[in-house]
Amino acid sequence: MFEGQPQSEIDARRQRDPEFKALYERHQKLNKKCMDAELGVLPIDSSTLGQMKREKLLAKQRLLRLFESSSPAH
């Protein structure tokens, strides 16, 4: 999700920012559910899968905005 960013920076942000941590964990859960659904491990209808993908995308966009707003270059 954070291509080119050291995992240590992501982990540090998760430790100091509760909102970032919650969004990150939400994104991870949605990502796993979407992958499981696509693999057929999680029985789910296409409408629900589409909604989960949209939620995942929104969480990712918010995470990226939060991360970029706190980076030293901005």
The model's confidence at residue 72, banded by pLDDT at 50, 70 and 90, is low
- The pLDDT tens digits for 15-34 are 999 999 999 999 999 999 99
What is the rounded average pLDDT for all residues in the chain? 91
* Terminal CA-CA length for the chain: 19
pLDDT of residue 5: 84
Q: Is the pLDDT of residue 74 over 60?
A: no
Neighbouring C-alpha atoms within 13 Å toward the C-beta of 54: 6
Instruction: Write down the domain spans for the chain.
Output: 23-70
Identify the residue with better confidence: 4 or 58. 58
d(CA 22, CA 63): 10
